Amino acid sequence: MKPILKTDIPVLKKLGQGKVRDIYEVGENLLVVTTDRISAFDVVLPDGIPYKGAVLTALSTFWFYLIKDITPTHFITSDFDEIARQVPAVKPYKDQLVGRTMLVKKATVFPVECVVRGYIAGSAWEEYSKSGTVRGVQLVEGLKESDQLKPTPSTKAEKGHDENISFEKMAEVIGPEPAKELKDRSIRIYETAHKYALTKGIIICDTKFEWGTVKTTGLNRIKPDNPLNQLNPVVEITLVDEVLTPDSSRFWPSDGYFPGKSQPSFDKQFVRDYLKVIGWNKTPPAPKLPEEIIKKTSEKYLEAYKRITGQELA
């Protein structure tokens, strides 16, 4: 399958383009199209990874159903026929969209990223080894690399900057009540997903969530055309973006898990290792990847999907 690096849907207004997703506006909703683009060290690479967009979309869809009782989410559907029923103008663009597109509620996104960590790895481990803290918070002594933690929330300032901020700072930026909600719900989703994934032989080491608000009404979920809805708007805190994918999380195989070392993971590790070996300085333009690295990375994404859902990607 040939990767898709960019979509072009001239019948819709393109609102923007992230490193991985193309976003189109559809009235009150959005079409989030996950391309096969891949980024490393925050730079988009010139090559795409076959099936990556489909894996990220199908996996997010899976989790949106699994966690639907914990929080409202922006997810409406990722079934192309249902999308085409609700947005008939996209029918001719099936080749670009099928399998990689979610119809979601448009949200006002909070300018923070909510990280939940269930194990100590990566930059958190580096910090702990030096200072005994993770994101400034003192942890017990004597932890080993990859040890399990009580699920620990932390916050990053607006995307792309990779700047850690304290809970107090987040409360200042978005308000104390939303801050507490985001923290509590992020932990509950992590705990639910972690428990489920363990039954499939996957450890979710850590993950990142994005949240927003969606204006809705208390009544319109039952009766959308009730005129009283106008009088009764509610702003609902809503989970947005992708959830619990290899791009937003570290997944480890649970067989072979052994604290005291780093663990192999189902993400872009092949790509990062390759880029380190060739000595790329992490500033654009990024180099091309060898076929072998592209193929192995694609296989890793597909395997993560298969392990977690118990099914081959359709």
Ligand X SMILES: Nc1ncnc2c1ncn2[C@@H]1O[C@H](COP(=O)(O)OP(=O)(O)O)[C@@H](O)[C@H]1O
- Which residues of the shown chain bind ligand X in the complex (CB under 6 A)? 18-21, 23, 30, 32, 74, 104-107, 109, 159, 210, 212, 240-241
CA distances from 295 to 8, 38, 139, 267, 298 (A): 26, 13, 40, 13, 5
Residue 203's CB: how many other CB atoms inside 10 A? Answer: 20
CB of 31 to ligand X, least distance (A): 11
User: Buried b / exposed e across 11-47, counting CB within 10 Å, b at 16+?
Assistant: ebeeeeebbbbbbbebeebbbbbbbbbbebeeebbeb
Of all residues in the shown chain, the one whose CB is closest to ligand X is 18
CB nearer to ligand X: pick between 63 and 128? 63
191, amino acid identity: E
Distance of closest approach, residue 270 Cβ to ligand X, in angstroms: 20
Helix 52-66 and helix 291-309: axis angle, to 10°?
A: 20
C-alpha dist (Å) from residue 300 to 55, 131, 154, 269: 10, 34, 27, 10
CB of 258 to ligand X, least distance (A): 32
Secondary structure (3-state) at 163: coil
In angstroms, the CA 209 to CA 115 distance is: 6
End-to-end CA distance of the chain: 13
Tokens found for residue 96: 């670009």
* CA 181, 133, 192, 23 torsion-angle sign: positive
Nearer to ligand X, 74 or 250 (CB): 74
Residue 63's closest CA among 49, 80, 75?
75
Task: Output the CA angle 137-140-144, nearest 5 degrees.
Answer: 105
Nearer to ligand X, 56 or 193 (CB): 56
Least distance (Å) from ligand X to the CB of residue 214? 8
Nearer to ligand X, 105 or 156 (CB): 105
Closer by beta carbon to ligand X, 149 or else 182: 182
* Nearer residue to ligand X within complex by CB, 100 or 145: 100
CB-nearer residue toward ligand X: 104 or 170: 104
Nearest distance in Å: CB 141, ligand X: 36
- Closest distance to ligand X from the beta carbon of 242 (Å): 6
Based on CB atoms, which residue is closest to ligand X, 23 or 173? 23
Rounded least distance, CB 37 to ligand X, Å = 8
Shortest Cβ distance from residue 285 to ligand X (Å)?
A: 17
Q: Where in 172-226 does DSSP place strands (E)?
A: 202-217
Nearer to ligand X, 67 or 149 (CB): 67
**Least distance in Å: CB of 263 to ligand X?**
24
Strands 233-240 and 148-157 turn out to be: unpaired
